[in-house]
């Protein structure tokens, strides 16, 4: 039972480069999310998707692009990486039957460093 | 602005001891509150969820309480074990039919020492 997997686990890149973080889930959950986690901050929502081909902005979407052509995949792209995007990125999924009881299942994260 | 504040930021206790972590929130209108455990280098894992009408919920040695009137929650860990060393994150959901309406606290880092 693979669940939700993220790749790569660690990534170092340079300012201005394009970077894509991958997320794959095996549960066929409808909803998928991208969060970033920075020291001293709670997790902040970047983008989310309610289904294939349906995406929407979260709290901090600037500088990021997402797509969801298949239910199981939800890649996050940094079009031109900046140092402020150095962070740990978490992908999550949920199968919402009742929003009040929604449970998020998180991947193990991608630690991204932008030099 | 919706906010979730957790205290203390970090805590060190001896194995076998009990501890209580605090969460204060200003999220409105309130829907539910969830506690997550995050081991180092891993994603958060859900421990408990509490709605407005619930004031206590247990999951093994973890007991969460909720006072919706004062907008406070606590997570009590009984007879701590080394495996309890982790960050504990309080997450509050607002009533929102559109965007995913979650506000995350910055967590309490717990270290259990032998």
Which member of B32, B45, B103 has the closest CB to residue A42?
Answer: B103
Q: What is the mean pLDDT of chain B?
A: 93
Distance CA B49, CA A43 (A): 18
In B, minimum Cα distance to A46 occurs at: B100
- B91 contact residues in A (CB cutoff 8 A): 42
Which residue intervals of chain A are DSSP H helices? Answer: none
A/B interface, count of CB pairs below 8 Å: 50
Tens digit of each residue's pLDDT (9 = 90 or more) over A55-93: 999 989 999 999 999 999 999 999 999 999 999 999 999
The reply to whether residue B99 touches residue A107, judged by beta carbons under 8 angstroms, is: no
Contacts of B70 (CB under 8 A, 6+ apart): none
Q: What proportion of chain B, given as a percentage, has pLDDT over 70?
A: 96
Which member of A31, A42, A104 has the closest CB to residue B4?
Answer: A42
Distance CA A75, CA B111 (A): 34
- B46 contact residues in A (CB cutoff 8 A): 103-104
Tens digit of each residue's pLDDT (9 = 90 or more) over A33-45: 999 999 888 899 9
């Amino acid at each position: 039972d693979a669940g939700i997997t993220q790749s790569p686990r660690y990534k170092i890149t340079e300012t201005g480069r394009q970077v894509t973080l991958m997320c794959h889930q095996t549960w066929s959950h409808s909803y998928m999310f991208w969060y970033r986690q920075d020291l001293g901050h709670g997790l902040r929502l970047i983008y989310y998707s309610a289904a294939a081909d349906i995406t929407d902005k979260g709290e901090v979407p600037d500088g990021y692009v997402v797509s969801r052509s298949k239910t199981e995949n939800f890649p996050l792209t940094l079009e031109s990486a900046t140092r402020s995007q150095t962070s740990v990125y978490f992908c999550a999924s949920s199968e919402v039957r009742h929003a009040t009881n929604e449970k998020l299942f998180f991947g193990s994260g991608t630690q991204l460093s932008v030099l | 602005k919706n906010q979730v504040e957790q205290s203390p930021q970090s805590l060190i206790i001896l194995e076998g001891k009990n501890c209580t972590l605090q969460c204060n929130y200003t999220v409105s209108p309130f829907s539910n509150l969830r506690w997550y455990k995050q081991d180092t280098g891993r994603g958060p894992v859900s421990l408990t969820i509490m709605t407005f009408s619930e004031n206590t919920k247990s999951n093994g040695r973890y007991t969460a309480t909720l006072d919706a009137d004062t907008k406070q929650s606590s997570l009590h860990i009984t007879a701590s074990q080394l495996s309890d060393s982790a960050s504990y994150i309080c997450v509050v959901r607002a009533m929102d039919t559109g965007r995913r309406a979650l506000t995350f606290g910055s967590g309490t880092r717990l270290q259990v020492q032998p």
